[in-house]
Amino acid sequence: MKSGRWAALGGLIGSAALILAACGGGGGTSANLAPLQKANELVSALPPQVGITDFAPIASGSAYTIYNSQVEYMLWAPVVMVSGKDTIDWADSLAKSITPNANDSQYTVQLNSWNWSNGQPITAQDVAYTANVLIQACTMSKAPYSYGGCGFGGLPPSSAHSVLLSATATGPNTVVFKLNGPSNPTWFELNGLGQIQPMPKSIWGANGNITDTLTMLSKVYNDPTNAAYKVVSGPYLFKNFVNNQYWSFVPNPKYGGHKASINVTLQYETSESSEFAALKTNKINAGYLTPTNYGAAGQLKKGFTQSYSEGFCWYGVMLNSASNALDVGPAFQDTKVRQALQLGVDENAVGKVLDGTLNGKNLWIPTYSAIPLGFPQLTQAVFGVSEIPSQYQFNIAKGKALLESDGYKLNSQGVMQKGNITLSFPMNIDSGSQSAANAALVMQQDWKQEGINVTINPVAFDTLVAVSNQTPGESSKWAMNDTGGWCYEPNFYPTGGGMWGYYNGQDSFNNAAFNKAVNNEYLPGTAAQAQQNMLAYAKATATDLPFLWMPGGYAVNETAPYINGIDAAFNPVQAFTQWNYVTISQ
């Protein structure tokens, strides 16, 4: 999950439009760019006020977003590429085969004979060294660099499931991964090996000192012009950028998987209106619509293709129950307070302004648990059910009565208060999304009727990410973050342990029943048993409310008629577009 994955590789998402742009249906713009001229040039818009801030093979914990993930996979081939069907995509995986031992505690990986972009072979030493750097980034006291995926896929910390202890090169193309106990093979192959994107040891770890490698990562993760980025393994090479304007990439002819044929530019957007203006003037050729400009879609050039997309994600508002969280953290530890807040969320009303209706189609998807909607067959295959019904249907009167039964009373300002706790706090939202602002107003007005006073605080997307990822010193500065959502990447085989590991110090995430469900989902067993454990975890999210559930929605893509294959190239499980499968016939 971004950006923890909140804005999560495991993903932080501010709105359906943000998912689209991050996932790759969008196109970018800059006032300084002329209309497109080159036949092999695709320019894709990022969500408003969202930039690319991490290019490293080991993703930074402070910039752990699906937008950065898109770029990291363009540059760095993973040991296991996960397909849109939640299976291994062998064609774009560095691994050629994976063989577990008798009790599934050790995995031997044979590598394809792929090369770095400089023509040198990608070796087992490169893979093993990267895996051991990941382990140290998650276990080292005061590590120079934090990795955002710690707790996922066997990477420490993980008390509920087997932990990856080491990776050893036993031959030029053979790596042995050793865990401290048996694991579910699908879980480790997808979630563990799926998040290892090897770096060339000769560049990032020439002296073999992991601390030095982590220090180097801390200095250059957001510096793609550094010489270290000249040698990569993914389908693309970094070309150039102007910060908060654009980031450009060209095909890597040495890539061992499906080779790219087009140049890609990801472009910064100042607002939803500027993105739409760029679509109209041909300064971008792949973009998106939001509810603010649905009515103007007819102004686009003839032949633009409109389509819908959705990531394998869920949506929610994050609560900070740390004791120092703006004087309301203890309230969020109270199950009845969380229930009252959820009862005050009118998902249909919020969805109408957040995602809207287009061509007679309601684009919002009510979400009531950590089970993604929008992919019934995939969800059924992973969880055994296609949805979990709402446990807390919108009911303001019931929510207010619940607070009163919990000892809260309206004070002289009309706000619920119990002792020295007053239910008055700010909600951070993405300042770049007008749709998110409109949705926040709906929630604010409904919560006010329950006696909950929520002020809306627009902040830059990168700030939302840093705050939600529990950057040290930030826990006392926020109470509620409308971060949008969480995609199950790199938690591709959906589990909850890593997700909640980010918030171990917050009591609302440590309910005994919920923890039991999270722990059980990791137990080794048959595929059917694993599915039942995951379903128990998902049901616990619906009842215990570790987040306030919010509607998700379909993104509306607009692409020029000469761009081919963008829909098929969108990978909902990865939550981005695999640009190396997109072609241009202009």
The CATH number linked to 139 is 3.90.76.10
For residue 149, give every residue at least 6 positions away whose Cβ sits within 8 Å of its Cβ, in sequence order, or none.
Answer: 5, 9, 10, 59, 64, 134, 155, 195, 490, 498
The CATH number linked to 571 is 3.40.190.10
Q: Is residue 218 part of a domain?
A: no
Residues 288 and 412 in one domain: no
> Integer distance in angstroms from the first to the last C-alpha of the chain?
37
Residues 574 and 510 in one domain: no
Q: Is residue 84 part of a domain?
A: no
The CATH number linked to 502 is 3.10.105.10
Name 508's bridge partners: none
Residues 160 and 96 in one domain: yes
Residues 561 and 549 in one domain: no
Residues 424 and 331 in one domain: yes
Looking at residue 149, its pLDDT comes to 86
Q: Quick one: three-class SS letters along 500-515?
A: HHCCCCCHHHCCHHHH
Looking at residue 519, its pLDDT comes to 61
Q: Would you write out the chain's pLDDT as a tens digit for each of its 586 residues?
A: 333 233 333 333 333 333 333 233 333 333 344 456 567 899 999 988 889 999 999 999 888 888 899 999 999 999 999 999 999 999 999 999 999 999 999 999 999 999 999 999 999 999 999 999 999 999 998 999 999 888 888 888 765 568 899 999 999 999 999 999 888 898 899 999 999 999 999 999 999 999 999 999 999 999 999 999 999 999 999 999 999 999 999 999 999 999 999 999 999 999 889 999 999 998 999 999 988 889 898 898 888 889 888 888 888 888 888 788 888 988 998 999 999 999 999 999 999 998 899 988 899 989 999 888 878 888 888 889 988 999 999 999 999 999 999 999 999 999 999 999 999 999 999 887 888 899 999 999 999 999 999 999 998 877 776 676 655 566 788 899 886 677 888 888 877 665 555 444 333 444 555 566 666 665 556 777 778 878 888 888 899 888 899 998 888 999 999 999 998 999 989 989 999 999 999 6
Residues 539 and 402 in one domain: yes
Q: Is residue 306 part of a domain?
A: no
Whether residue 153 contacts residue 187, with contact meaning beta carbons closer than 8 Å, is answered with yes
The boundaries of the domain holding residue 40 are 2-76+234-301+556-584
Q: Is residue 214 part of a domain?
A: no
Q: Is residue 221 part of a domain?
A: no
Residues 111 and 66 in one domain: no
Q: Which of 69, 56, 94, 55 is nearest to 5 (CA)?
A: 69
Axis-axis angle for helices 527-544, 376-383 (nearest 10): 110
Whether residue 3 contacts residue 468, with contact meaning beta carbons closer than 8 Å, is answered with yes
Whether residue 429 contacts residue 482, with contact meaning beta carbons closer than 8 Å, is answered with yes
Q: Which of 22, 5, 107, 37 is nearest to 71 (CA)?
A: 22
**Structural domain total, the chain:** 3
H/E stretch holding 97 reads: strand 95-100
Task: Please state whether the peptide bond connecting residue 338 to the residue before it is cis, i.e. omega within 30 degrees of 0.
Answer: no
Looking at residue 476, its pLDDT comes to 81
Q: Is 278 helix (H, G, I), strand (E, B) or coil?
A: helix
CA separation for the pair 1, 329 (Å, rounded) = 24
Looking at residue 454, its pLDDT comes to 98
Residues 194 and 257 in one domain: no
CA separation for the pair 380, 378 (Å, rounded) = 5
Residue at which a domain ends, from 151, 185, 204: 204
HSE, CB side, 13 Å, CA atoms: give it for residue 371.
30
**Rg (alpha carbons) of the chain, rounded to whole number:** 23
Q: Which amino acid is at 320?
A: N
Residues 350 and 484 in one domain: yes
Q: Which of 159, 221, 233, 163 is nearest to 191 (CA)?
A: 163
Q: What is the DSSP string of 15-47?
A: SHHHHHHHHT--B---TTPPPP--TTEEEEEEE
Residues 352 and 451 in one domain: yes
H/E stretch holding 352 reads: helix 347-354
Looking at residue 509, its pLDDT comes to 45
Looking at residue 75, its pLDDT comes to 98
Count H helices and E strands in the chain, helices first.
18, 29
Q: Is residue 388 part of a domain?
A: yes
Dihedral sign for Cα 337, 3, 9, 18, please.
positive
Residues 125 and 268 in one domain: no
Q: Is residue 227 part of a domain?
A: no
Residues 510 and 543 in one domain: yes
Looking at residue 512, its pLDDT comes to 52
Q: Is residue 226 part of a domain?
A: no
pTM of the model: 0.85
Burial class (CB in 10 A: 0-12, 13-18, 19+), 253: exposed
Q: Is 362 helix (H, G, I), strand (E, B) or coil?
A: strand
